A and B are shown apart, each in its own frame.
Chain A
Amino acid sequence: MVQYSDSRLDASFAALSDATRRGVLEQLGRSDATITDLADKFHMTLTGMKKHVSVLEEAGLVTTEKVGRVRTCKLGARGLEDAAAWIERHRELWSARFDELDRVVEELKRNERAERPNKRK
């Protein structure tokens, strides 16, 4: 199977451990923005914002593109949906579904047991 490397996950979680970076992601979820926009919005220096953006970029959460002198940031190809979160979302669905199926199957099993003595005669 495809293994999602621990280092990639570590990078994602480290990136998300910071409130400013989560804010940046939320902001980019609404619209793309330049580093200057982001620095203004979060009352930071350009250098400080560049550092945050590069952490997000390394984690694959954000991509940036430089056109002329302006660098625009947008959510990464998968946005916030990291591989682990993606798998987890599918697991939650199937786990809930199969736990419910289990309940139905257990009931069928009980009914069958209750009926069995009659069938044996």
Chain B
Amino acid sequence: MKNPTTVERKSDRELVVTRTFDAPARLIFQAWSKPELFRRWWLPKSMGMTLVSYEADIRTGGSYRLEISHQGSKPMAFFGKYLEVTPHSRIVWTNDESPDGPVTTVTLEEKGGKTLLVLSELHPSKEALDAAGTGALDAMPETFEQLDALLAELSAGGAR
């Protein structure tokens, strides 16, 4: 049984994603901060994308760089630096591949063996968030297909 992931637009400039894990915070931090573990989940297989390369120096002031390729296309690079890394509770990084990229903050809050993960993307302006894509995912299905899927879901009573 999977725990649900929720996404909401907290303000004009902020997107917030939440998810609970049935595990202590330190294991989530470990899966996030060890490159060989991170590589296993950042690009789920269902997306049909490949992590061509990944380098990360996960500590405050360190930097990272990912290269992602979609079905053999020319890789897209994503990079930035860590503004804060506090083991087991908080990771903050910049997204510098775009001049108006957001600052992403992940917090882990453990309670009774479960951990609430909150990821927030704070964009420099409303326009930047409106235009924010989902990275290499934008190379994916046409908006029409997505709307069709959403319509099907709504008519099936899948959403309120």
In Å, the complex CA distance between A91 and B158 comes to 14
What are 27 sample pairs from A and B whose C-beta atoms fall under 8 A apart?
A1-B8, A1-B9, A2-B9, A78-B130, A80-B147, A81-B143, A82-B147, A85-B143, A85-B146, A87-B9, A89-B134, A90-B15, A90-B134, A91-B7, A94-B7, A96-B47, A97-B42, A97-B44, A99-B2, A100-B41, A104-B41, A105-B21, A105-B31, A108-B23, A108-B27, A108-B30, A108-B37
Residues of chain A touching chain B, judged by Cβ–Cβ distance below 8 Å, are 1-2, 13, 16, 22, 25-26, 78-82, 84-85, 87-91, 93-106, 108-109, 112
- Would you call B23 and A106 a contact (CB within 8 A)? yes
- Would you call A87 and B23 a contact (CB within 8 A)? no
In Å, the complex CA distance between A98 and B118 comes to 11
Chain B residues near A84 (CB, 8 Å)? 150, 159
- Would you call B154 and A13 a contact (CB within 8 A)? yes
Per-position binary interface string of chain B over residues 123-153, scored 1 when its CB falls under 8 Å from any chain A CB and 0 otherwise: 0000000100010010000011011001100
- The distance from the CB of A115 to the nearest CB of chain B, in whole angstroms, is 13
**Which residue, of A13, A89, A97, A105, has the highest number of chain B Cβ atoms within 10 A?**
A105
In Å, the complex CA distance between A16 and B11 comes to 27
Chain B residues near A102 (CB, 8 Å)? 2-3, 21
Chain A-chain B contacts (Cβ-Cβ < 8 Å), number:
101
- Would you call B27 and A112 a contact (CB within 8 A)? yes
- The distance from the CB of B144 to the nearest CB of chain A, in whole angstroms, is 7
Chain B, Cβ-Cβ closest to A25: B144
Contact A95 B9, CB 8 Å, known A80-B143, A101-B31, A105-B28: no
Chain A, Cβ-Cβ closest to B121: A90
In Å, the complex CA distance between A93 and B44 comes to 9
User: In the complex, which of the residues B10, B46, B119 contacts A96, with contact meaning CB atoms closer than 8 Å?
Assistant: B46
- The distance from the CB of B49 to the nearest CB of chain A, in whole angstroms, is 11
Chain B residues near A99 (CB, 8 Å)? 2, 5, 44
- Would you call B3 and A1 a contact (CB within 8 A)? no
Main secondary structure of the interface of A (DSSP, over half): helix
- How many residues of B are in contact with the other chain, CB < 8 A? 43
In Å, the complex CA distance between A60 and B147 comes to 15
Contact A105 B23, CB 8 Å, known A1-B11, A2-B9, A94-B119: yes
Per-position binary interface string of chain B over residues 102-125, scored 1 when its CB falls under 8 Å from any chain A CB and 0 otherwise: 000000000000000101000000
Contact A98 B146, CB 8 Å, known A1-B11, A104-B40, A105-B27: no
- The distance from the CB of A104 to the nearest CB of chain B, in whole angstroms, is 5
Nearest 10 A/B pairs, CB to CB:
A100-B41, A95-B5, A96-B44, A91-B7, A101-B41, A80-B143, A100-B44, A98-B19, A93-B134, A104-B31
